[in-house]
Amino acid sequence: MKSAILGAACLVLCATAANAATATGGSFGALADGTKIDSVTLANGAGMSVRIITLGATLQSVIVPDKQGRKEDVTLGYDKAQDYLTRPNYFGVSVGRYANRIAKGKFSLDGKTYTLATNDGPNSLHGGAKGFDKRVWKIDAMSSGADAKVTLSYVSADGEEGFPGQMRATVTYTLNEKNELRLDYGATTSKPTVVNLTNHAYFNLSGNAARDVMGHLVTLKAERFTPVDATLIPTGERRPVAGTPFDFRKATPVGARIRDARDTQIRLGRGYDHNFIVDGKAGDLRTAAIVEDPVSGRVMEVRATAPGIQFYTGNFMDGTFFGKNQRSYRQGDAICLEPGVFPDAPNHPDFPSARLNPGQTYVNSMVFAFRTK
Ligand code: GLA
């Protein structure tokens, strides 16, 4: 009898422990035009929680414990939905239809040339004037359990922003009990098109952007990177990182070589704003980067299936806009690590292809795994 009661108690408790990750819906206010924006918070029993909002399927906050157990936000962002439209920084957004640049806003597929809006000097950036980051996505499913999950989708019309084919894009955010946040991007199309979906989170592991990231140690599992021209379009070269400020094969402080103006690529990027070619086989979820903040003890490992990862040090942030908790963000206040195909791949036949055909399913998966040291 006694053991039956204990058994029943264990059933309840064990079920609670095994189902500790929760997905909870909420509101994130409204845009200036009155459009309501919803939120979903994924939380686990290990002290981590993340908030996703329907505007841009954006990762609005990532709260992670430091080595002392202090729970703080490790991403930049805004408190108000409208700021994501007014301020062009792509904080935590889902970028599409094509993350990063397409030279002169033009590319050809099967002999036909497509013209996109040029919203970054002579080039198209992050899907054009109104990319996926500025669209309101739909929440398709959310669930609590051993993992907490939410899936959002956005249907982009044939010809939207100049891209061919109706595209259905999805992203599933999954938080588990190991403090791993996984993002699975997917897409299908009605006509041959190009696609590069990724997340543009700006990480600062100090917590609430207390300090800049120059002392963060970065490891990039990349033997080579793709140098750029003056408009940040890849030249086509795949340059070995050895002997350059781009060698992060061993953990190195972000700030150690960021001002080394002897290197033309540092000059052109105003620091780091480059695609690194991730070692190993694209398609395998492999470690691409490790970031460590020695002060807070927070460590983030990025695993990715993509062939490349854009490493950007917030070089365009100039202190003229204010993020969460009335914090002013400046150059070097965050690290972006955006897994994807290479910038301008549609104009480089020898880069891994960004083409998607009807009947195929595009997949881009990444994991941001947190621990302390
Ligand atoms: C990417 C680009 C940068 C910049 C940011 C957004 O990371 O590579 O040049 O445009 O997005 O500000």
DSSP, collapsed to helix, strand or coil, labels residue 6 as: helix
Question: For the chain, which domains are there?
Answer: 20-372 (2.70.98.10)
Q: Both tokens of residue 5?
A: 């009661």
Ligand 1 atom 7 nearest Cα: 312
DSSP string, 171-238: EEEEE-TTSEEEEEEEEEESS-EE-B-EE--EE-TTSTT-S-STT-EEEE--SEEE-B-TTS-B-S--
Closest residue CA from atom 1 of ligand 1: 100
Q: Which residues are catalytic?
A: 200, 338
The total number of residues shown for the chain amounts to 373
What are the beta bridge partners of residue 302? 289, 368
Question: What is the torsional sign of CA 116, 343, 306, 37?
Answer: negative
Taking Cα atoms as reference points, which of 83, 68, 205 lies closest to residue 134? 83
Look at residue 272 and give its three-state secondary structure. Answer: coil
pLDDT reported for residue 321: 85
Burial letters for 125-163: b for 16+ Cβ neighbours within 10 Å, e otherwise? bbbbeebbbbbbbebeebeeeebbbbbbbbebeeebbbb
3-class SS string, 248-265: CCCCEEHHHCCCCCCCHH
Residue 6 confidence (pLDDT): 44
Residue nearest to atom 2 of ligand 1 (CA): 100
Compute, in angstroms, the gap from residue 131 CA to the centroid of ligand 1: 14
Query: What pLDDT sits at residue 19?
Result: 59
Computed over its alpha carbons, how large is the radius of gyration of the chain? 21
pTM of the model: 0.95
Is the preceding omega at residue 97 within 30 degrees of 0, hence cis?
yes
To which residue do tokens 């398609």 refer? Answer: 283
The pLDDT of residue 5 is 45
pLDDT digits (tens, 9 = 90+) for 132-182: 999 999 999 999 999 999 999 999 999 999 999 999 999 999 999 999 999
Contacts of 360 (CB under 8 A, 6+ apart): 188, 189
Spacing, Cα 203 to ligand 1 middle (Å) = 14
Ligand 1-lining residues (CB < 6 angstroms): 89-90, 100, 125, 232, 273, 310, 312, 316, 336
Counting as low any pLDDT under 50, the low residues of the chain are 1-17
What are the tens digits of pLDDT across the range 79-119? 999 999 998 799 999 999 999 999 999 999 999 999 999 99
Six token digits for residue 240: 């070995």
Per-residue model confidence (pLDDT) at position 8:
45
